[in-house]
Amino acid sequence: MKSIVFIEKNPVTGRLRNVSIELTYKAYTLSKPLKGEVTGVFAGDALPEDTDRLFQYGLDRLLYFTDERLKHLHSIAYKHILEAMIQSEEPDIVLFGATHTGRDIAPLIASSLKTGLTADCTQLYVKNYKDKGNILFQVRPAFGGNILATIITPDNRPMMASVREGVMLLPEEHPNHPHKMELFPVDFNESWVKSEFLSVVPKVKKADFNSAQIIVSGGAGVGSAGNFRLIRELASALGGEVGASRAAVDFGFVDKDHQIGQTGSVVRPKLYIACGISGQIQHRAGMEESQKIIAINKDPEAPIFKIAHMGVVGDLNEIIPVMLRYLKEEG
């Protein structure tokens, strides 16, 4: 069971995207029991500064190609280069991070290789299947997250899957492999460059969920952008980060960077306080692994109460000011 992992660099920091490390380790756990190799494929203007970290999580080899013209996401160029790398390896499994880059390139490659690509997997495992031998089982939420589907690609190779950042966890103890880097020669074709990148502006990341122990999130029930101030104040009083459901973002209460859920960030804080969030499956997909969930909602039937540990049925616009007052009193 030979695996390939698409290695992605964060263009702003010049370092590896976390998901590339997460998937390297995942590929290691899938391939190693079956004596398979894990190979990384990288294309870009320069290698990520911290490339060696990959070898600390089970990467056997890295195939890479660097060229100044790959500074920007020229999808067609990336497709041709990565596809050539993948084909040269004849892998069983290919994993991509479900980032805006991975989701741009992976479908092009799957289309070109005429194979299956399963998006946003939350679990991956290898098992024997009928007369097909060992294949990859890909579990993903579908139908807006209301069902969990197990998808297989029984007759085609490679079996391709994408996974979002933060879904696969890294272990405390991990394998350490010697560095083995191989330059993959590519005859760069100028016709692959079809777009012109006029400028690039790094985004100011307004929410930092990675290090947040407490997240206070607001949803449609907050009612207005003005009321969302209460969510910010409660987060700040508790020393936490501000989150939001998709509805709150769509209504313009708060910036999209704060969105938690299937189409936002996946978070696992110690405390998650959901205010005016009904708890649609799309939102739960991003937060239900939180250690303790506190729900404030007007609707006693809201699904959020089914996963919450503490709950209040009431108007958050009345409840949060009282909470803030006590938090101040308690100092």
Partner 1 sequence: MKKIVVLAKQVPDTANVTGDAMKADGTVNRAALPAIFNPDDLYALEMALTIRDKIGGEVVVITMGPPKAAEILKHSLYMGADRVMLITDRKFAAADTLATSYVLAETIKKIGSVDLVLAGRQAIDGDTAQVGPQVADKIGLNQITYVSVLREFNDEYLIVERDGEVQTEVIKSGYPVLLTVTGQANTPRYPNCRRMLQYFRADVKENFDTSEISAAEAKGWIIPAYSLEDLGLDEDRCGLKGSPTKVHKIKNIMLKGGDLKMYGTKPTNIKQLVRDITKVYVEVN
Pick 30 or 55: Cβ nearer partner 1: 30
Kindly identify the residues of this chain, within the stretch 149-168, that bind partner 1 according to CB under 8 A.
149-156
Give CA torsion, residues 246, 103, 205, 223, to 10 deg.
-10
Binding residues among 86-145 for partner 1 as defined by CB under 8 A: 99-101, 103-108, 110-112, 114-120, 137, 141-145
In the bound state with partner 1, the residue whose beta carbon lies nearer, of 148 and 183, is 148
- Show Cβ contacts of residue 198 under 8 Å, excluding neighbours closer than 6 positions: none
Residue 307 near partner 1 by CB under 8 A = yes
Crossing angle, helix 316-330 and helix 228-238, to 10 degrees? 30
Query: Per CB under 8 A, does 318 bind partner 1?
Result: yes
- Candidates 20-28, 182-190, 196-204, 223-231: pick the segment binding partner 1 (CB under 8 A): 196-204
Contact status, residue 96 vs residue 102, Cβ threshold 8 Å? yes
Please list every residue from 235 through 264 that binds partner 1, using CB under 8 A: 238, 246, 250, 256, 262-263
**Of 50, 281, 289, 317, which lies in the binding site for partner 1, with binding defined by CB under 8 A?**
281
Contact 3, 95 (CB under 8 A): yes
Contact status: 196 vs partner 1 (CB under 8 A): yes
The reply to whether 148 sits near partner 1 by the rule CB under 8 A is yes
Residues in contact with partner 1, total (CB under 8 A)? 93
The answer to whether the CB of 71 falls within 8 A of the CB of 37 is: no
Residues 259-278 binding partner 1 (CB under 8 A) are 262-263, 270-271, 273
User: Strand, coil or helix: what is 227?
Assistant: coil
CB nearer to partner 1: give 85 or 161: 161
| Contact with partner 1 (CB under 8 A) among 87, 146, 210, 224 | 146
For residues 125 and 139, what is the distance between their CA atoms, to the nearest angstrom? Answer: 9
Element (H, E) at 284: helix 281-287
Q: Please, which of residues 23-62 interact with partner 1 by CB under 8 A?
A: none
Contact 217, 272 (CB under 8 A): yes
Q: How many residues in the chain?
A: 331
CB-nearer residue toward partner 1: 58 or 240: 240
